[in-house]
Structure 1
Amino acid sequence: MRSIGEMARDSGLGVSALRFYDRAGVLVPARVDPVSGYRWYAPGQLGEARLLARLRRAGMPLADVRLVLAGWSGADTDLVRGLLEAHLRRLERDLADARGAFSAVREMLDQRESPMTVPARTDAVRLSVPAGGLRAALDAVRFAVGRDPELPMLTGVLFDAEGGEGGEGGGLRVVATDRYRMAVARTAAAGHEGPRAQVLVPAPLVDAMRALLSGDETVHLGVEGDRVTLWAGDSQAAGERLAHDFPDYRRLVRLPAGRRAEVDVAAFREALADGPVRAGEAGEEAGGAQELSVLHVTDDGAVTVCGEGDEEGDVVAVDRGFLLDALAAAGRDRLLLEFGAHTAPLAVRRTDDEDTFSLLMPVRLDG
């Protein structure tokens, strides 16, 4: 017999996914301890679990997965082959539709200027920034930097310098996103009198800059051509900017106002850590199978973590690890969670700073 942890390790399905498939009646353990509720799986169930993992990875609907597993256990090869071929035909139709849609989008893209933000590479920029402000801003966004080598434009932090008259009144925004989450922060800056200037700084250089920001003095940020430099006293961190376009974050963060609920961060983190989780699916960078927290705002403004079957009204499901990261990066004892529609991002905001926030994309609940 395999424990649920051993089955998760050997099958490629997460523990939360195995619990979900048990509750859904798709892969029921051979024995459940009546006292502890611990699940145990028979040796023959490992093959079914691996098959289940592959079918879900291929995007097969749960209703069809049930039938495939039933046919598999009953040696009904005709049923299994028929379901696999039907799903493959669906995938091929969907791929053909997607190719057609992408072809149309490319034609539209050719007819207009790219909406991506492309910083001018010839203008020199020099900013003076409080070390403490830049340190706090980088700490608030670093967790959201992407790591997918297929999307190099997301593997850095965008530095967006706002111009100010006479070198005063401007600011510096820093932005990071990996598609599943986005973080934005702002700090005061002086010295840049021209139009908005943007530079995409690679993550290793961002970390080198952050290491120099230990004090509260004023530091200086310079961009000349493709080279980015931060001077902090007698030390400096310098390197090449990323030669990629960063998405227009200003468009992405324009969201309809949602319902806000204030949370005590320590208590909410404890509720997330100890509360129920659900299984969900996301892209490879987000880890494939995910542990999700399903959140609901009660009529009196409290945020609850829902178990399966406990949902009342509108709920939003987000990656629990991503949410814990966002709470830690916000750096406050109390925060505002802003809920829109269940398909809209969940916003994590400071109570005292509207310019620093993060957005977490909702995740489809499995099944």
Structure 2
Amino acid sequence: MRSIGEMARESGLGVSALRFYDRAGVLVPDRVDPVSGYRWYAPGQLDEALLLARLRRAGMPLADIRLVLAGWAGADTDLVRQLLRAHLRRLERGLSGARAEFSALRALLDHRENPMTSLRTDTAVRLSLSGPDLAAALDAVRFAAGADPELPVLAGVHFDIDDGALHVVATDRYRMAVARTPADGYDGPRAQVTVPLPLADAMRALLDGDREARLSVDGDRVTLEAGDRQTAGPCLGHDFPDYRRLVRLPAGRRTVVDVPGFREAVRTGPVREQEEAAGDLTVLAVADDGAVTVAGEGAAGDGLIAVNRAFLLDALAAGARDRLVLESGGPTAPLAVRRPDDAGTFSLLMPVRLEN
């Protein structure tokens, strides 16, 4: 017999995936301990798990996988071959359609201006900021910065200087955080730069007191001074997404939550696991009056919003308030975590569609 951990290591499916397939009736363990609930798998189930992993990597739907496993275990190889051929045809049609769409998109890009924000400014920028305010802004967004080497454009903190303020932004696609702090000494045109994460962290390390901070941007180089110390370096050589467009959301239901109690409910409450989700999910139930609670196991209905639990806990901590506002336009709309006293500082979490 194999434990669920051993099965995960040998099959490559992962413990959460094996639990999901058990609940879905696709790969049910041979025995479940009635006291501990621990799952045990028979020796022959490793081959089924390896086959399941292959089929999922090929993108086969769960309904078809269930039939393939049943046919594989029996003598109905004709059904298995038919299902494999049908899925391959779907993939080929999908690839052909995707190629056509990408060709059309490339043609559109060739005939329009780049909609991304301009990285560099031709005008040297010098501005003064409150050290504690800048430190708080960096703390409010740092958790959302990207770490995917395939997307170096997101591996930084974006500085947007406009209308007497510095807007600090970070995103990894699945979450976005924005903070605003007043700035003095610059009244020129809007200027934007993206600071690499190591440099942004070095800037934060300078801001350990009540001293004023001085930020300067000259070409592709950015410098922060605090007292007699400074740190400087080149900006990222990539364009940052137009975050202002991404944060324009229709108004949704708003509710004020007591952060210590709500955070504890999220931390200790039930979670859901889905194979496609990167991490445990917290499911929030939104009542008709806008009240938000952590939904229990098995909860269903239209008023449920599923988000990555770790991301939600990060956003609550970054909010740095005992009371925060949660706002959502529905299960498929981003969940906004806002400060009730600071409209310029907030975070957005992308929801995860719950599987039936």
TM category, shorter: over 0.9
Q: Give distance in 1, aligned partners of 2:65 and 2:80.
A: 10
Deviation at 1:22, TM superposition (A): 1.6
Letter matched to residue 302 of structure 1: A
Greater Cα offset, 82-91 or 336-345: 82-91
Aligned counterparts of 1:52 and 1:289: Cα–Cα separation in 2: 19
Which of residues 347, 350, 355 is equivalent to 1:361?
A: 350
Q: CA deviation at 1:122?
A: 2.4
Deviation of 1:366 after TM superposition, in Å, equals 4.1
The TM-score with structure 1 as length reference comes to 0.91
What whole-Å deviation, never above 9, does each CA across 1:249-285 have from its counterpart, x for those lacking one? 0000000011112222222222222222222355xxx
- Tell me the equivalent position of 1:20: 20
Residue number in structure 2 paired with 1:92: 92
Answer whether contact 1:209 1:237 (CA < 8 A) is retained.
yes
Partner letter of residue 171 of structure 2? T
| Matching of residue 290 in structure 1 with residue 284 in structure 2 | no
Cross-structure match for 1:30:
30
Asked whether 1:323 is paired with 2:317, we answer no
Q: Given the superposition, is the C-alpha separation of residues 43 and 332 from structure 1 closer, same or farther in structure 2, using an over 3 Å criterion?
A: farther
Letter in 2 for 1:56: R
**Aligned partner of 1:262 among 253, 256, 262:** 256
- Write the deviation string for residues 76-95 of structure 1: whole angstroms up to 9, x where unpaired: 43332322222222122112
Q: How many Å apart are 1:289 and its aligned residue?
A: 4.4
Residue pairs, 1:186-205, within 5 angstroms: 186-205=180-199
Shift of 1:346: 0.9
**SS of 1:290's equivalent?**
coil
- 1:93-142 per-residue CA deviation (whole Å, 9 max, x = no partner) reads 11221121121122122211111000334221111011111101111111
TM-score, normalization by structure 2: 0.94
CA contact (8 A) 2:17 2:275 kept: no
1:308 Cα deviation from its structure 2 partner = 4.8
Give percent identity, aligned residues only.
Answer: 73
Alignment match, 2:232: 238
Q: Matched residues in 2 for 1:76 and 1:120: separation? A: 63
Asked if the contact 1:272/1:320 (under 8 Å) is kept, the reply is: yes
Could you tell me whether the CA contact under 8 Å between 1:349 and 1:356 is conserved in 2?
yes
1:183 aligns with 2:177: yes
Unaligned 5+ segments in structure 2 are: none
One-letter code of the match for 1:353?
Answer: D
Q: 1:217, 1:70 → 2: CA distance?
A: 69
Aligned partners of 1:160 and 1:172 also within 8 Å: yes
- Report the CA distance between 1:189 and its aligned residue: 0.7
What does residue 210 of structure 1 align with? Answer: 204
2:16 and 2:275 in contact (8 A); partners too: no
Describe the SS at the equivalent of 2:153: helix
| 1:285 match | none
SS at match of 1:355: strand
Partner residue of 1:335? Answer: 324
Deviation at 1:298, TM superposition (A): 2.0
CA distance 1:329–1:57, change in 2 (3 Å): farther
2:335 to 333, 342, 346: 346
Stretch of structure 1 that moved more, 244-253 or 322-331: 322-331
Contact 1:175-1:184 at 8 Å conserved across structures:
yes
Query: Given that residues 281 and 363 in structure 1 are in contact (C-alpha distance below 8 angstroms), is that contact kept between their aligned partners in structure 2?
Result: no
Q: Which sections of structure 1, spanning at least 5 residues, go unmatched? A: 164-169, 283-287
1:50 offset after TM fit, Å? 3.0
Counterparts of 1:269 and 1:315, CA distance in 2: 18
- Report how many aligned residue pairs link the two structures: 356
- Aligned partners of 1:11 and 1:304: how far apart in 2? 37
Deviation of residue 317 (structure 1)?
1.3
Q: Indicate the residue corresponding to 1:167 in structure 2.
A: none
Q: Measure, in 2, the Cα distance between the counterparts of 1:96 and 1:307.
A: 43
d(CA) in 1 for partners of 2:100 and 2:80?
31
**Contact 1:279/1:365 (<8 A) preserved:** no
1:45-124 aligned at under 5 Å gives the runs 45-124=45-124
In 2: Cα distance, 1:57 partner to 1:322 partner: 26
Paired with 1:73 and 1:272, the residues of 2 have a C-alpha distance of 41
Cross-structure match for 1:4: 4
For the structure 1 residues 143 and 91, does the alpha-carbon distance in structure 2 shift closer, same or farther, using more than 3 Å as the test? same
Runs (4 or more) in structure 1 with deviation over 6 Å come to none
1:270-309 alignment, distance < 5 Å: 270-282=264-276, 289-309=278-298
- 1:280/1:364 contact within 8 Å kept: no
1:17·1:289 contact (CA, 8 Å) conserved in 2? no
Match in the other structure for 2:146 = 146
The 3 A distance-change label for structure 1 pair 354 and 365 is same
